[in-house]
Structure 1
């Protein structure tokens, strides 16, 4: 593939391990116990970290990936269709992830609605005023003086004497009192309705928690999909590059992976209290291995002499699709969710708001500097 320059296999294989370390360090740093505890203790610092990550994601899509996509596609003679193809591929990537998000959200919401309806149906009270009331047999027997009653509860006899019930008002009813059928059924219905109310409240709490959990899963999965896809592609580019270009490419890619890891880690940190550690570990593993796997894949392609995956057209289209995914995620899921739609942010102190936007611009600046040298 590279017929005119030198290619060191050992150098490229060493980059696989180093890129894994930089990627893992970037995503795990915000999730470290002491770092995460410090961020959670100061909500403003957590807000600034999220703003910094949002700036990195947006700049990666708009500046880094779209810029490289235009460069790659412009090397191919497309008769003036370069800008149109790049824009169309980016738009296609954005629409694709929006459609996936819509389908996933629709399926999850539908399932939760079904669970909720079934729970309400099961917890609906049965009100039948008969002598056989939901496994409770009530028998009223008046003695000679007309003031004693005996009754069976859940097939266990409660004799006349010292047992007592509570009316709705909380008043004690002794079995030596005048105990009518309506007293017993009122007591049972009151307890049963309280049980239903508590059960329904618990179900609602679980469903609300499940709703937030699932929605945030979708956001993180879509963000990681865009990052992982383009990380694999740029890793492939490093795997096929010649030695004379390797040093600059490797250094910029290492910084790129570290800061993108910080961005993804800050998003995960935002919902760390509702995400399982299994999900967090899987996310960190996928991100940390994509670029090294891409580099290894590129090294294999170099050895086999396959040129399609390193062609300008393929890399340009791949960068465009990745840009569309990250632009949609950055604008809709991160910037809008954390800034525009957040009541806490809108009502926050003006200095905090300005500092958040400064950290957003700082994240953009980091990617712009990396793009200049890549």
Structure 2
């Protein structure tokens, strides 16, 4: 029998035993037990912050007595766009590069920028999925006798009107409520859905269909949820618990507001009004579940092990690609470059929207200094 340790390796850049060449512990276990009571309490604190951030815009949007002014929603929407973009680059892509460049991994992982490769694959994957879904949706509308325009602009989740290259007069007339159905008789959510259907009838923006909106928000939430579970598990065992705990409170609150503002402005029929609420609740649960899981396996879980580094690195890279695509294409491009509302907006409103987005991006990027 060989006297060598079964985990030993002859490569100088891989761990010797359970330690890397720089002294990093690469074996199982190693989770910190300090502030254990506060770590348990963090499950409920993060749950409250995440849930309130995501649910508040959704419930405020559909609650009669809680009349939140539209500028407040617009601030949350543009601020949230900046948060999502900064999350992609600072809180996902950079950690993915660190994790897949961990000294606990074998030489093969350092021979190629795998984190960037997985991110790139994710971007093209999401692009292809949306392209196929768009063409499929257009074909379905054509079979129903509704003309389609491949040059339509606008994102289904945005509160502003969509834009097609048809007659503007017909477009505006088709959006106006009939005499028996004035805007005052409709809830904000139902009015938005009716406007979306009427815009679809005149210009057929396939991005305004309920199915396409649900797919779009699912893609966005999938990227956020993966990240939320991983940071929850890290918080449960990290030695720098206090600093990370404070940062994640703000992180989850801001990210929740960004997602919640998108969910609040989905144009859906009454039968699907529960979808935004479910989406907000799902977001609110993911990080606390990650913390609870991390606490449950803290004696055996070490984020620096080869398996943990590979899994978290790949997931972070994929999530980064999803949020980069969503942030740059679905949020920035459709809300600024291809939005008729923004094209017709005053310079002051445009500057305000960009400032809100830069503020969200700047604050979230600053939080990356500590987490």
Judge same fold: TM > 0.5, yes or no.
yes
Cα-Cα RMSD: 3.4
TM-score, normalization by structure 1: 0.67
Q: Does 1:26 align with 2:53?
A: yes
* Separation in 2, partners of 1:309, 1:37: 52
* Separation in 1, partners of 2:284, 2:31: 32
Indicate how the Cα distance of structure 1 residues 277 and 350 shifts in structure 2: closer, same or farther if over 3 A, else same.
same
Residue correspondences, number: 289
1:339 corresponds, among 333, 336, 341, to: 336
Q: Does 1:239 align with 2:236?
A: yes
* Separation in 1, partners of 2:68, 2:53: 21
Please list the CA deviations of residues 71-128 of structure 1 after superposition, one character each: whole Å capped at 9, or x if unmatched.
Answer: 22332354684772111011122222223333444444444444448xxxxxxxxxxx
2:82 corresponds, among 55, 73, 77, to: 55
Q: What is the deviation of 1:7?
A: 4.8
- Comparing both structures, which one devotes a greater share of its residues to helix? 1
Identify the residue that residue 143 of structure 1 maps to in structure 2. Answer: none
Identify the residue that residue 93 of structure 2 maps to in structure 1. Answer: 66
TM-score, normalization by structure 2: 0.68
- Is the contact between residue 240 and residue 310 of structure 1 (CA under 8 Å) also seen in structure 2? no
- 106-115 or 345-354, which moves further after superposition? 106-115
Q: Does 1:249 align with 2:244?
A: yes
2:287 corresponds, among 275, 285, 291, to: 291
1:354 corresponds, among 351, 362, 365, to: 351
Flag structure 2 segments of 5+ consecutive residues without an equivalent. 1-27, 147-197
Identify the residue that residue 269 of structure 1 maps to in structure 2. Answer: 264
Please list the CA deviations of residues 150-174 of structure 1 after superposition, one character each: whole Å capped at 9, or x if unmatched.
Answer: xxxxxxxxxxxxxxxxxxxxxxxxx
- Comparing both structures, which one devotes a greater share of its residues to strand? 1
Indicate how the Cα distance of structure 1 residues 114 and 211 shifts in structure 2: closer, same or farther if over 3 A, else same.
farther
* Separation in 2, partners of 1:292, 1:299: 11
Identify the residue that residue 323 of structure 2 maps to in structure 1. Answer: 326
- Is the contact between residue 55 and residue 281 of structure 2 (CA under 8 Å) also seen in structure 1? no
* Separation in 1, partners of 2:322, 2:359: 22
Q: What is the deviation of 1:238?
A: 1.6
Indicate how the Cα distance of structure 1 residues 273 and 305 shifts in structure 2: closer, same or farther if over 3 A, else same.
closer
- 364-373 or 297-306, which moves further after superposition? 297-306
* Separation in 1, partners of 2:267, 2:334: 17
Flag structure 1 segments of 5+ consecutive residues without an equivalent. 118-200
Identify the residue that residue 282 of structure 1 maps to in structure 2. Answer: 278
* 1:1-374 map, 5 Å: 1-3=28-30, 5-7=32-34, 9-33=36-60, 43-76=70-103, 78=107, 81=110, 84-116=113-145, 204=201, 211-242=208-239, 245-271=240-266, 276-305=272-301, 311-374=308-371
- Is the contact between residue 39 and residue 45 of structure 1 (CA under 8 Å) also seen in structure 2? no
The structure that has the greater radius of gyration is 1
Indicate how the Cα distance of structure 1 residues 351 and 111 shifts in structure 2: closer, same or farther if over 3 A, else same.
same
* Separation in 1, partners of 2:367, 2:77: 20
Please list the CA deviations of residues 291-348 of structure 1 after superposition, one character each: whole Å capped at 9, or x if unmatched.
Answer: 1111122223324557658733332222111111100000111111111100110221
Q: What is the deviation of 1:277?
A: 2.4
Look up the SS of the partner of 2:369 in the other structure.
helix
Q: What is the deviation of 1:43?
A: 4.6
- Is the contact between residue 236 and residue 310 of structure 1 (CA under 8 Å) also seen in structure 2? no
- 294-303 or 80-89, which moves further after superposition? 80-89
- 93-102 or 355-364, which moves further after superposition? 93-102
Q: What is the deviation of 1:219?
A: 1.8
* Separation in 1, partners of 2:312, 2:206: 41
Q: What is the deviation of 1:39?
A: 10
- Is the contact between residue 82 and residue 358 of structure 2 (CA under 8 Å) also seen in structure 1? yes
Please list the CA deviations of residues 49-68 of structure 1 after superposition, one character each: whole Å capped at 9, or x if unmatched.
Answer: 32111100101001221122
